[in-house]
């Protein structure tokens, strides 16, 4: 009877099996090559796939807190390409949290939630967002101010002259062009973003649509969170930054928000 593959293995001499299974020792050159490959892959991921950002303001509370450090996926919602068919791409959806370059302030990164995609009809009534005629249920939204601001809470029906914050030049005219009845219509290649801390968020209501080409990616998770002053991002002097770095070193353990580590951003 012809022996099976299992029979052949068990019938070999122990010396032959041990010699076959003995691993060849890795040379220094092979070790260096392996490490170089790991570094190249890591650099590729960091450069093209993942980017680290810090949340500087309270506009996305309580979804994202001041001092949250997040990893941002730069691939999934990027414009699709044909050179990497193995990469998963998808369109930007309602409710996505996105990081993008401010259309108002060059070089400034902003994070907001997508409330409107191209073709959507939007308006607010009493602080409630209506999209395509339907009132949205938004469990993530907080209202941190006990007040009523006509422009903020009833956009776009109230004139920009009644806004409680600076409105970008040209935006009121654009609103007039893009309005249909009580709704603002999101044009092709653009998105409408708002912060979850709805009463303090400086967002598309004040400076306009988010161009598709400005969108960097979407936050994945919080990899570190530190109790940070609200105005820390405004401290641009080297002495102030060095002072805060020293503060972080001293208070790393007692002011790190350990409960937010690896918190998924949704």
- Tens-binned pLDDT, residue by residue, of the chain (266 aa): 444 443 333 344 555 545 544 556 667 776 676 666 666 555 555 555 788 999 999 999 999 999 999 999 998 887 766 555 656 789 999 999 999 999 988 889 999 999 999 999 999 999 999 999 999 999 999 999 989 999 999 999 998 888 877 899 999 999 999 999 999 999 999 999 999 999 999 999 999 999 999 999 999 999 999 999 998 988 889 999 999 999 999 999 999 999 999 999 99
Residue at 39 is within a domain: no
Q: Could you tell me how far CA 103 lies from the centroid of its own chain?
A: 17
Phi, psi at residue 26, to the nearest 5°? -80, 130
Distance CA(59)–CA(152), nearest Å, equals 14
Residue owning tokens 């902003």? 110
CATH number of the domain where residue 126 is located: 2.10.109.10
Residue at 42 is within a domain: no
Domains contained in the chain, number: 1
Q: What pTM value is reported for the model? A: 0.80
Distance CA(197)–CA(58), nearest Å, equals 7
Residue at 176 is within a domain: yes
Residue at 36 is within a domain: no
Residue at 238 is within a domain: yes
| Residue 117 DSSP code | -
Residue at 242 is within a domain: yes
How far CA 156 is from CA of 176, 189, 220, 258, in Å, comes to 9, 20, 32, 41
Residue at 95 is within a domain: yes
- Tell me the longest C-alpha to C-alpha distance in the chain: 95
Residue at 33 is within a domain: no
- Residue 161 lies in domain: 49-264
Query: How many other C-beta atoms are found inside a 10 Å radius of the C-beta of residue 174?
Result: 14
């Amino acid at each position: 009877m012809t022996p099976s593959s299992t029979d052949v293995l068990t019938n070999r001499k122990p010396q032959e099996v041990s010699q076959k299974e003995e691993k060849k020792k890795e040379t220094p050159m092979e070790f260096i090559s392996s490490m170089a490959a790991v570094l190249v892959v890591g650099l590729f991921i960091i450069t093209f796939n993942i980017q680290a950002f810090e949340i500087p303001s309270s506009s996305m509370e309580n979804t994202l807190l001041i001092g949250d450090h997040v990893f941002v996926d730069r691939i999934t919602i990027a414009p699709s390409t044909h050179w990497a068919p193995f990469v998963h791409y998808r369109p930007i959806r309602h409710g996505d949290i996105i990081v993008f370059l401010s259309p108002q302030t060059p070089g400034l990164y902003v994070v907001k939630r997508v409330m409107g995609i191209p073709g959507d009809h939007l308006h607010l009534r009493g602080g409630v967002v209506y999209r395509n005629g339907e009132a949205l249920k938004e469990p993530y939204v907080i209202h941190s101010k006990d007040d009523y601001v006509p422009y903020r809470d009833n956009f776009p029906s109230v004139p920009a002259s009644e806004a409680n914050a600076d409105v970008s030049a040209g935006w009121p005219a654009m609103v007039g062009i893009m309005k249909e009845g009580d709704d603002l219509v999101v044009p092709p290649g653009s998105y409408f973003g708002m912060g979850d801390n709805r009463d303090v968020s400086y967002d598309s209501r004040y400076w306009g649509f988010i161009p598709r080409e400005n969108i960097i990616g979407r936050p994945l998770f919080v990899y570190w969170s530190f109790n940070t002053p609200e105005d820390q991002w405004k401290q641009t002097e080297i002495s102030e930054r060095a002072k805060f770095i020293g503060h972080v070193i001293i208070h790393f353990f007692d002011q790190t928000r350990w409960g937010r580590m690896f918190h998924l951003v949704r």
